[in-house]
Structure 1
Amino acid sequence: MKRLLALGLAAICLACALPLTACTPQQKLYSASWFDMFDTVTMVQGYAASQEEWDTQADALHDDLEHYHQLFDIYHHYDGMVNLYDVNARAGQEPVQVSRELFDFLQLCKTSGETLAGGAVNIAAGAVLSLWHDARESEDPAPPAADAISEALQHCNLDDLLLDSGTLTVAFSDPAMTLDVGAAAKGYTAVQAGQAARERGLTHALLNMGGNVYTTGPKADGSAWRVGVENPWPGEDAPQYVQTVELTGGDSLIVSGDYQRYFTYEGKRYSHLIDLTTGCPAAYYSSVAVYSSPDEGLGDLFSTALFCLPPEQSRRVADDNGLAVLWLGTDGEVAAQTDNWPGKAV
C-alpha cells in the first residue's frame, strides 16, 4: 500500500503561531478527511479565508476525487459513465467506447509501463492481481496455487490491450484479460484533483491519498510542508519516520511498501505488490519512496515499478528517468538513494 503521512497537524499549525505577517487571520488552516474512496484514507489540509470558503473548496475536491474513484473502479458499475468495471465486463467481446479522460489515462499507463517502468507495472495484469486480492481478502488467507498463478500470467500481455484513438474504444484480443490500474490510479488522481483545486483557488494545500502526497503550493506563510517517510520496520522503540521531505507546490512524494496491505502465511509475509516475472509478491525492499517535481501523475506508477524490480534494474530505471528515490531494505537499513534525493534523516 502507498503510505506516507504528514508530520502531524500540530506541527503544521506551529507555523501560524510564529510572528509571520504572511500568516494572517485571513488565511487559517483547515482540514478534512474522507474514507469512501480508493480503499484508503484521504486527507487534505489547506488554508482558506473562512470556514465557508474551505467547505466549498473541500466539497469540490471531494467531488473530483469521487469521480476518479468511480472511473477507475473495477468492482462496481456507476450510472452515467463507462468505467473500468464496464470495460473489463465487455471489452473481451467487443470494443467499448470510453471517455477521452479514461482513454488518455489508459494510453498513458500502457505507454509508460512499457517504455519507462521496465515492464514492472502492467495494467493488463488483472488476472494475476485478482488472485492475490482474493487471497488477501479471504477469511483464511493463503497464497494462490502455483498452477493458478501460472495460468493467470498467460493473460497479461499488454499487446492484447487494443486502444483506438480514432474511436476512443478499448478492446481485449484475449477475452481472459482484465485491467487493474491500482499501481497508478491514486497518484494520478491526486495530481489531477490537486491541480484542479489549485485552479479553483486552493493554492496552499496538501493532499494525502493513502500516502500519495501532492501539494498545490506552500503553506500560507510561504514555508514548505514537511512530510515523513514512514518507518517500515517494526520495533518497540522504532521511530515513526525514517526521513522527512519538504514539499512546496506542484511536487509530490509517494511510497510503496510491504508493511500495510499484506497477509502472513506460515510465518511469511505476502504483500500486495506483485513481481510480474514470478506472479508472486516482490521482496526486494521494505519500501521505496519517489519524490517528483513537477509530478505529471506518474509517481505512483514509478514507486510501484521500482519496488517490484531487483536492485540493479530498479536503480537503472530511476536513473534513466531522472527520479529522486529512496530505497529501504528488508534488513532494516537504507539500501540506496539517488544523488538528487531531497530527504533528511529524522
Structure 2
Amino acid sequence: MTSRLPRIGLALAAAVLLAAIVVTSAVNRRTLYTTTWFDLFDTVSVVKGYARSQAEWDEQMEALHADLLHYHQLFDIYHSYDGMVNLCDVNARAAEAPVAVEDDLYGFLDWCANTIYSETDGATNIAAGAVLSLWHDARESDAPAPPDSARIEQALGHISMENLQLDAAAHTVFFADAAMSLDVGAVGKGYAVEKAAEAAQARGLDSALLNIGGNLRAIGEKANSEGAWTVGVENPWGNEPTYIQTLTLPDGYSLIVSGDYQRYFEYEGVRYSHLIDLTTGYPARYCSSVAILAPAGGGGTGDALSTALFCLPEETGRTVLENAEGYEALWMYPDGSTTQSDGWTGQPTE
C-alpha cells in the first residue's frame, strides 16, 4: 500500500497540472473578429484579427480607422478638410506660391519624389496629375471615351518631377510649372496602410490581416497557434478560380496587386484601365495584372512597384525589381500565362 502512495501523488499532481494547462489555454484563447469600412480610399476595407474581447478589438479598430482616415484625407486631391493642408490644397495653391505642409505630408512627398521616382524608372510619378486627371474624368463621365490625343500630348508636357520643388527647411511645396498637379493614387494607399499598420502594432495589435481595397498587410500570425496568414492572388481574367495562386504572408509582409480589371471603362470594344503608361499617356497594355510580395515594412514601396511593373515591359520591370532588395513579383498576361521572379513564393490553386 505504502509503495503506491507516491505514484498516486504523482498522478494527482499530473492531473492537476494538466487541468491548469487546459484552463490557462482556454483563458488565453482569443476570438476572431472582422471589421469592414466603406469610407477609405474609395474602396472596401476589411480587417480581420484576434483579440481577447470585443471591447479590445473595437478599441484597436477605432484607432486604426482614425489613422487610415487621416491619410485618406491627406492624400485626397478632390476635397479639402478643416484642420489640415492636404493635396487638394497643394494642387490649388502651389503654382502661385510655396505651400507649407505638415511633416507627414512633406515626408511622403519627399519620399515619392526623391526615392520612389528613381527606383521605379519614372513609372511611378506623383507629378503626373495633368495626364491622370484626363483619364479620371473620362472614366467618370456619363459617356466614357478616351481623351483627345492632342490633350494627352499637351498634358505629357506637364509631368516633370523637376518642377515639383520641395523645400526641406521650410517644409513647403511649389510648382514651377503652373499646369502640373499631384496625384498619388499609384502609391498613397500602400504607404498609408504600412504607416497605419506600424502604428497599430505599436499600440499592441499583434494578430490581424488588413485588406484595404486589395492591399494586404499582415500583422503577426493568426492567434491560438493557427499559423501564418494565407492570402490569394485574384484572378484578373474574370473566370474561375477566383484566386489563381495562394501564398503565406509573414508578419509585416504585404501583397499588393495592380490590374486592368480594377478600374476601367470600355469604348468600342476596347478596355481602358486607370493604370497609365507615362511614356505614351495611354493605359498600359503590357500585361493583365502584376502582384508584388513586399518584405516587412515595405508596403509603400510595394504599392509603387506594382504600379511601375504594370506600366513597364517585363524586361524593364525585372531590372527595376532586381534593384529593390527583398521584393518579388508575379506577372499575369491576357493569354492566361504567368511569369514570376525567382523568389516568388505563391503556389497555384487546385
Please report how far the alpha carbon of residue 339 of structure 1 lies from its aligned counterpart in structure 2 after TM superposition. 0.7
Q: Does 1:225 align with 2:208?
A: no
Q: Pick the aligned partner of 2:145 from 142, 150, 170.
A: 142
Structure 1 equivalent of residue 336 of structure 2: 332
- Distance across 2 between alignment mates of 1:113 and 1:310: 18
What are the equivalent positions in structure 2 for 1:1-346 lying under 5 Å apart?
Answer: 26-222=29-225, 223-235=227-239, 238-296=240-298, 297-322=300-325, 323-334=327-338, 336-346=339-349
Alignment coverage as a number of residue pairs: 324
Give a deviation string over 1:131-161, Cα, whole Å, max 9, x none: 0000000111000000010011111000000
Conserved? CA contact 1:284–1:330, under 8 Å: no
Conserved? CA contact 2:29–2:224, under 8 Å: no
- Secondary structure at the counterpart of residue 304 of structure 1: helix
- Distance across 2 between alignment mates of 1:218 and 1:24: 19
- Distance across 2 between alignment mates of 1:49 and 1:221: 11
Aligned AA (2:313): P
Give a deviation string over 1:156-181, Cα, whole Å, max 9, x none: 00000000000000000001100000
Give a deviation string over 1:168-220, Cα, whole Å, max 9, x none: 00000001100000001110111100111111111000111111111111111
- Distance across 2 between alignment mates of 1:302 and 1:107: 17
Aligned AA (1:311): E
Larger radius of gyration: 2
Aligned AA (2:158): H
Give a deviation string over 1:32-73, Cα, whole Å, max 9, x none: 010111011111001111011111111111111100000000
- Secondary structure at the counterpart of residue 85 of structure 1: helix
Aligned AA (1:124): A
In structure 2, relative to structure 1, the CA distance for the partners of 1:226 and 1:155 (3 Å cut) is same
Report percent identity of matched pairs: 57
Aligned AA (2:107): D
Please report how far the alpha carbon of residue 113 of structure 1 lies from its aligned counterpart in structure 2 after TM superposition. 3.2
Please report how far the alpha carbon of residue 24 of structure 1 lies from its aligned counterpart in structure 2 after TM superposition. 6.0
Conserved? CA contact 2:64–2:200, under 8 Å: yes
Aligned AA (1:253): L
Structure whose residues are more often helix by fraction: 2
Normalization by structure 2: what TM-score?
0.90
Please report how far the alpha carbon of residue 229 of structure 1 lies from its aligned counterpart in structure 2 after TM superposition. 0.1
Give a deviation string over 1:281-310, Cα, whole Å, max 9, x none: 001011000001113321100100000001
In the alignment, structure 1 segments of 5+ residues that lack a partner are 1-18
Please report how far the alpha carbon of residue 260 of structure 1 lies from its aligned counterpart in structure 2 after TM superposition. 1.8
In structure 2, relative to structure 1, the CA distance for the partners of 1:345 and 1:283 (3 Å cut) is same
Structure 2 equivalent of residue 14 of structure 1: none
Conserved? CA contact 1:65–1:193, under 8 Å: yes
- Distance across 2 between alignment mates of 1:255 and 1:314: 15
- Distance across 1 between alignment mates of 2:210 and 2:98: 36
- Distance across 2 between alignment mates of 1:201 and 1:191: 16
In the alignment, structure 2 segments of 5+ residues that lack a partner are 1-21
In structure 2, relative to structure 1, the CA distance for the partners of 1:22 and 1:99 (3 Å cut) is farther
- Distance across 1 between alignment mates of 2:291 and 2:35: 25
- Secondary structure at the counterpart of residue 220 of structure 2: coil
Conserved? CA contact 1:203–1:216, under 8 Å: yes
Compare 108-117 and 49-58 and name the one that shifted more.
108-117
- Distance across 2 between alignment mates of 1:278 and 1:292: 28
Please report how far the alpha carbon of residue 22 of structure 1 lies from its aligned counterpart in structure 2 after TM superposition. 6.7
Conserved? CA contact 2:144–2:265, under 8 Å: yes
Aligned AA (1:268): V
- Secondary structure at the counterpart of residue 176 of structure 1: coil
Normalization by structure 1: what TM-score?
0.91
CA-based RMSD: 1.4
Structure 2 equivalent of residue 10 of structure 1: none
Aligned AA (2:255): L
Structure 1 equivalent of residue 10 of structure 2: none
Aligned AA (2:304): L
Aligned AA (1:129): L
- Distance across 2 between alignment mates of 1:221 and 1:233: 36
Aligned AA (1:135): A
